[in-house]
Amino acid sequence: MIRTASFARFALSLVLALAVGLPAQAETRVPQSQTEISLGFAPLVKQAAPAVVNIYAKIVRQQHQRSPFMNDPFFEDFFRNFSNPRPRVESSLGSGVILSQDGIIVSNYHVVAMATEIRVVTTDKREYEARVVLADQASDLAILQLEDAADLPFLTLRNSDEVEVGELALAIGNPFGVGQTVSSGIVSGLARSGTASGEGFGYYIQTDAPINPGNSGGALIDVNGDLIGINTRILSRSGGSNGIGFAIPANLVREFVKQARAGSEGFQRPWAGMAGQPVDADLAASLGMDLPEGMVISELHPQSPFAKAGFEVGDVITDVDGQVVNSPSEMVFRMSVAGLDGTSMVTRLRGDIRETLVVEMFTAPNDPPARSVVMNENSVLPGLTVGLINPVAIVRLQLPLSATGVAVLDPGPYAARAGIKAGDILLAINGKEVTSSEDVPALLEQAGRRLRFDLNRRGQRVSLHMRR
């Protein structure tokens, strides 16, 4: 476990005292020696930096080239192998944070995504092979396991809900590949959502500690040397740090580590089964609220855990487990942190009545069973896979909560060429209504030389025609 020297606490107290122009309180003191004056954050960095590593990821992609003589009757034989795929090796550089003595590391998804080889280098130049044990593009987090690692330095995860705006923070990483670098700043904002660019979304800690390319996956620590977040994104027009950086809170990292150790193949979030929007001043007035707060439920699936707990459309959710919620992204974060197979205490406001209800945390149920059907090789559209829409399909295909009927789970090669996409809802084939997945093989078999598909695609009615 890594902790800082007492000087860090002294520095924070002194800064605050000078900022407000007040004499230092009982727990503060002036530097006792020239050595203390010159230390700065050195003791803190010496203890925390060894737990931050460099990550080198190698990605092999197949590169296709089209021959300019492909259709030439004379030259095509000479250039027959021109269009064969050629491997192209790409490399990415990022940072990671050691979270356990046995080599559990957290980094960003975009640092190691699709990597065929991952090499981790510590500050003392030791090198390890690593493998990804859990990754999630939506959260932009990945958990890695080092091979044959033991007795490594590591950082302790702090409860990120206790972090406050104005706290001192240090960002440690490898910006631009120049080597491990430390930058200092403060926590300049909390609950930032939808502001960072890239794969990640959700809920961030904002800092003005400079973060640049290569810092991704590095540590954001407090003055006690505890990890409060994983540096992930910047807000910049030029591509360089402008003092607005974002870190994924440590509480979400903790849930990722928990699921990784439990052997999860993918990160599992509790299913909300609802849609909502932030309460602004106009909406607050229409709901009879004195001040705007929380998130109003605009749509609710009958099988949603919130519906089961007694919530209804029009209810305003103000907090989850004692933490304020003001947007759908904050709700997703709070539920992700709560984890599965437990409960959360959710406060709702209905009219003038404010009460707290117990909500179960579970994944989207496969109820009723999807009964997916795959068209065989003798079908008009081999490989086409359809299934009944249920909560699992709604989540997987990102369908509206109100969606019903039969959806395309996988179009297969031939249906894809005709323009059919995963997530399309099958309404009719050649004018005959589709009511179940079992209808589709028979309707395709009965079709003549022409096929017409009536689809619901993201709320729009679409008709596609194809000839056999």
- 347 with 392, same domain: the answer is no
Please state the φ and ψ torsions of residue 139, each to the nearest 5 degrees. -90, -10
- 282 with 354, same domain: the answer is yes
- 355 with 394, same domain: the answer is no
Q: Which domain holds residue 313?
A: 274-361
Distances (CA, A) of 6 to 41, 45, 49, 391: 11, 13, 17, 53
48 belongs to a structural domain: no
- Strands 316-320 and 245-249 come out as unpaired
Question: Of 110, 193, 424, 439, which is the active-site residue?
Answer: 110
215 belongs to a structural domain: no
Q: Is 110 among the residues known to form the active site?
A: yes
283 belongs to a structural domain: yes
pLDDT at residue 196, rounded to an integer: 38
- Strands 406-410 and 86-98 come out as unpaired
Distance CA 401, CA 399 (A): 6
Domain boundary pick from 361, 383, 406: 361
- 389 with 458, same domain: the answer is yes
Question: Of 107, 136, 139, 140, which is the active-site residue?
Answer: 140
256 belongs to a structural domain: no
pLDDT at residue 12, rounded to an integer: 43
131 belongs to a structural domain: no
pLDDT at residue 80, rounded to an integer: 52
pLDDT at residue 81, rounded to an integer: 55
* pTM for this model (two decimals): 0.80
- 312 with 398, same domain: the answer is no
pLDDT at residue 85, rounded to an integer: 58
Q: Degrees (nearest 5) of the Cα angle 452, 457, 460?
A: 95
Question: Of 193, 216, 327, 336, which is the active-site residue?
Answer: 216
- 377 with 463, same domain: the answer is yes
Return the SS3 of 66. coil
Taking a C-beta distance cutoff of 8 angstroms, is the pair 375, 451 a contact?
no
CATH number at residue 439: 2.30.42.10
Domain boundary pick from 337, 361, 385: 361
- 395 with 353, same domain: the answer is no
Number of structural domains (the chain) is 3
Domain boundary pick from 361, 388, 411: 361
pLDDT at residue 31, rounded to an integer: 59
109 belongs to a structural domain: no
- 351 with 425, same domain: the answer is no
239 belongs to a structural domain: no
pLDDT at residue 19, rounded to an integer: 39
- 384 with 450, same domain: the answer is yes
- 377 with 355, same domain: the answer is no
Residues in CB range of 64: below 8 A, 6 or more apart: 83, 85, 86
Q: Is 216 among the residues known to form the active site?
A: yes
Taking a C-beta distance cutoff of 8 angstroms, is the pair 153, 161 a contact?
no
298 belongs to a structural domain: yes
Taking a C-beta distance cutoff of 8 angstroms, is the pair 423, 400 a contact?
no
- 354 with 420, same domain: the answer is no
Distance CA 463, CA 468 (A): 16
> Could you tell me the mean pLDDT of each successive run of 10 residues in the chain, 468 residues long?
44 41 46 63 90 88 54 52 60 88 94 90 92 92 92 94 92 81 89 49 82 85 94 67 82 95 91 94 92 94 96 96 90 91 94 95 92 90 94 94 95 92 95 93 86 93 87
